[in-house]
Structures are given as C-alpha cells and as structure tokens.
C-alpha cells in the first residue's frame, strides 16, 4: 500500500516535503508583497505604503545600527529593552500571583470560598476599559503599563492554575497525608510541582495577551518602547519602520514561546501534555 505524499487523510511525507510545505505560505506572502510593492513603485517612486525590501533595510540600519541624533541611543534596542522590561515585570508578577492564588484556592476550601467568586468577576473586566483608570491613578509612568499587563493576564492564569490543581487526583493528597505531610507540604511539595508545567503552558498562552496590552499601553502614553515607536512613526506613514518593528515583535514572541516550550520538555520530562 502506498500512502499519498501530500493530499488526503493518510498523507505521510518525509522531512523535506514537510519543510517545503511549511515554507510555502511564507514565500507566497513575501512574493505577493514584493510584487505589489514593485508595482506601486513603478507607478510612483516615492510611494510610502508598501516599502521595498531595500527601503526597509535602510530604515533598520537607521534605527538599529546608528545612534539617534537627538538622544544618542540606538532606537530599536532602546525600545526593545524598555518593552521587554515592562512585559517581563508585568507577566512575571501575574504568573507569580496566579500561581500562589490559584494553588491556594485549589487546595484550601476557605481560600476558594473567599477568593474564587472575586477572581471570576475580576476576570470579566475588560482590561482596556480600565486603562484610563490605571493611567489616572498610577500616572503615565511604568506602573500603569505594568498594571495593565498584570490585570490583562492574571485572571486567566489564576483560573488555569486553579483548574490544574483541581485535576490533581484527590488520592495524591490523601497519600501524601498518610506519608506524614503537613498541609503546607501537600500544597507546596505535592501539588505545586505537579501543576508547574501546566502553569508554564498557561503562561505561553498568555504571551499574546501580554503583548497586546503592552502595545496598547505604549501607544497611548509612553516615551519609548516598541509600541510607542510604531504609533509615533505612523504619523509620517513610515511603513518602512513599522513593518520591521512588527516582524521584530513577532520574532521576540516566537522565541519566548519556543523557549517556554523547550523548558517544559527539558525540565518536566515526566509531564505528558493532555
């Protein structure tokens, strides 16, 4: 019996076909873009809407490799560092709080009764709707932006952690108690390590939301950052900067996601994703 190479339910393809198939959509989009860009520049050499690859390379050189005339800093790197700092602090705090709270409401009925309804309600607040409140109360500095990322990602991760804890079989807890574990030991030595990979998975899924809120906050009030830069140069229709910035953000997001996935696979070898 021969299995089909590409089409159908039973398709089985060797690695090279896989690679070609994976690259195909990328190449298609790049090709389409280059074609359209070329066409527009033929009509109007000063077109700004679809910059050519050369123009984008030029722009990247300007923002990444030459110091800014006004501040003497390399804009792209400065923006990246500022944005990542906000992202890491906001997301880190959210993960830590979600872990501790999700764990405790999952294990202790008292914590669950007093906190679970609040967190469920809290998660219904659209974070962007309270952005003005954050800026008014925390000012337009770092705290407001970090708070937005926190509020945007914390409830979901807390609920994910809670559900992961609930999935730990009750037998495990009883077993630990018969082995002499205290309640703290049950929570932090038996349950916590078992939900860690799931929490990291949840963090992976929250990366997208975190970026969204970061860019939104920077777009509205900031003096640097990737989102700030994109929305700043928008005024001059500088697509030659916007597009490389978007690609760069995509890259950063991709590698963070990949890193976390790798962490789960290497660090938690016993874990079988479900």
Planar angle of CA 240, 244, 250, nearest 5 degrees: 150
C-alpha–C-alpha distance, residues 57 and 35, integer Å: 17
CB of 183 to other proteins, least distance (A): 10
Identify which of residues 177 and 233 has a Cβ nearer to other proteins in the complex.
177
Identify which of residues 56 and 165 has a Cβ nearer to other proteins in the complex.
165
Identify which of residues 185 and 246 has a Cβ nearer to other proteins in the complex.
185
Q: Are 256 and 208 in contact (CB under 8 A)?
A: no
**Which one, of 122, 264, 152, 252, lies nearest residue 212 by Cα?**
152
* x-or-dash string of contact with other proteins, 186-225, rule CB under 8 A: --xxx--xx-------------------------------
CB of 104 to other proteins, least distance (A): 16
Q: Side-chain half-sphere of 21: how many Cα atoms within 13 Å? A: 11
Measured in degrees and rounded to the nearest 5, phi and psi for residue 272 equal: -110, 110
CB of 273 to other proteins, least distance (A): 13
Q: Side-chain half-sphere of 236: how many Cα atoms within 13 Å? A: 8
Q: Side-chain half-sphere of 101: how many Cα atoms within 13 Å? A: 21
Per CB under 8 A, 46 contacts other proteins = no
C-alpha–C-alpha distance, residues 151 and 97, integer Å: 11
Planar angle of CA 107, 155, 135, nearest 5 degrees: 140
CB of 265 to other proteins, least distance (A): 14
Per CB under 8 A, 272 contacts other proteins = yes
* x-or-dash string of contact with other proteins, 125-164, rule CB under 8 A: ----------------------------------------
CA trace torsion 116, 207, 23, 261 (10° rounding)? -70
| Of residues 164-193, those binding other proteins (CB under 8 A) | 169, 171-172, 174-182, 185, 188-190, 193
Identify which of residues 137 and 182 has a Cβ nearer to other proteins in the complex.
182
Q: How many residues sit close enough to other proteins to count as binding (CB under 8 A)?
A: 23
CB of 3 to other proteins, least distance (A): 31
Residues that bind other proteins (CB under 8 A): 169, 171-172, 174-182, 185, 188-190, 193-194, 268-272
């Amino acid at each position: 019996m021969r299995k089909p190479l590409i089409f159908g339910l039973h398709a089985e393809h060797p690695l090279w076909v896989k690679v070609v198939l994976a690259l195909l959509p990328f190449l298609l989009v790049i090709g389409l873009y280059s074609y359209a860009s070329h066409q527009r520049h033929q009509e109007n050499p000063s077109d700004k809407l679809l910059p050519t690859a050369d123009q984008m390379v030029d722009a990247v050189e300007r923002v990444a490799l030459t110091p800014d005339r006004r501040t003497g800093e390399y804009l792209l790197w400065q923006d990246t560092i500022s944005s990542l700092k906000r992202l890491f602090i906001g997301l880190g705090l959210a993960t830590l709080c979600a872990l501790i709270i999700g764990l405790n409401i999952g294990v202790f009925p008292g914590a669950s009764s007093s906190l679970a309804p609040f967190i469920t309600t809290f998660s219904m607040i659209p974070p962007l709707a309270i952005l003005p409140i954050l800026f008014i109360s925390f000012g337009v500095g770092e705290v407001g932006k970090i708070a937005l990322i926190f509020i945007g990602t914390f409830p979901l991760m807390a609920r994910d952690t809670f559900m992961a804890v609930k999935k730990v079989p009750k037998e495990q807890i009883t077993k630990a108690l018969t082995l002499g574990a205290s309640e703290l030991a049950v929570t932090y030595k038996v349950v916590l390590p078992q939900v860690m990979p799931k929490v990291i998975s949840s963090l992976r899924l929250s990366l997208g939301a975190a970026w969204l809120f970061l860019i939104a906050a920077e777009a509205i009030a900031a003096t640097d950052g990737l989102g700030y830069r994109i929305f700043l140069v928008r005024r001059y229709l500088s697509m030659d900067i916007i597009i490389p910035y978007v690609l760069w953000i995509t890259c950063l997001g991709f590698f963070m996601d990949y890193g976390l996935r790798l962490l789960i696979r290497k660090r938690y070898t016993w874990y079988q994703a479900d």
